[in-house]
Structure 1
């Protein structure tokens, strides 16, 4: 299988650097083809702007959506964008590895998403009608591919627990797992999260690598997060609100959890 690793950390000798090397070695040893997009090493341009569209008329107002679509359709995107899109289409699975900085991904990785997920490529695709609202949330160009986050954080696991001050890690990562990954069609695996990274003695590092190795071995067999499909019948269209009676519990549930399928459904 083909695996793309999109990696965002500025220090090769960091914990993240060691885990990235371990990931590549484990996957290659298992017989997979692996490509790595090391964004800091590539000097990746993070800011999405008009320079991404090579034939844009500089004399008129920039329209990011329209100009992005035109450049994608006509093959006039910046070369680094087109190259990453080709790697995404090549991949059967994509691993996004990064440290959790201020409750999100590093700016360089967010910029990768904003530039590579062009209009007409990762969004703005499919039929829009009163029965089908675009190929989104379980559909789209990445349908049938798998994605997984490998995230490091300095906080303790309890800080990101159900009653933790930082909020549950599933909620913290929801904009990425549900938005950036499920939206364009990926089957999203539960994230691998490494906590309290400043306390990483040799014995614990060996344990972390073993746990990561098991998740890499299950990249094609582990069950993905049970996100609901937008056009699968659970949502009112075009309002895109969950139909009554599908939420868990007493019907008063709110927030991210209602977008997970119930085990009895």
Structure 2
């Protein structure tokens, strides 16, 4: 009797969560629907979730083959997001490994300072970073955004906390086999850290892809714009055409969906492991 009640309760909870998730998906569903409609059908009420007159191809051509270089904005975002994400993973993983497994003088002080820097709002360091980029001659270049996005105390802390949980016996065994600290890092620590690395990668990619403040401050040339700035530029031209704007929005989120679907297993494992250790 108890098992039957538990089974019934699980079914009810599953249905309840499915209904709740549907409400969260409604804006996305409406965006996909509006991107496939004519402008007149977008404003019809009640909402026609399945378009009566399909206009997907025309909206697609307006976004990708119009006068505004939406494809160029897309490539700029991919370039910056991919390079920044890979660099952040490498640098944060190495720093996390050093702070968790290598014994050196001042390690505790370095970790304390890193925690202190995490408490400083990003906006408070905006002017110093702008001046630094200006002095380096990197203003109005993608290199400025990549350089600013390579280092992250948050991801270093996250990886450090994960690597602390890796048993030292594994590292000592590798050391007895003649492996140096770099070989141990590459062959032992990184493979064991795949779930958290995937979590760091997808979060960093999303943050960089959606970043509006950094490109707004550091870029001046239209040809260097990323998707967030490009969407604002696009809005000035097609702000009254909701169907076209929704098509551009759909195009902007496709890489994020693909990335999450490809790495969702590792991300969930990373979050679960982090939650257990937390």
TM-score range, shorter chain: under 0.3
TM-score normalised to structure 2 length: 0.25
Identify, as 1 or 2, the structure richer in strand: 1
Identify, as 1 or 2, the structure richer in helix: 2
Higher relative contact order (CA 8 A, sep 6+): 2
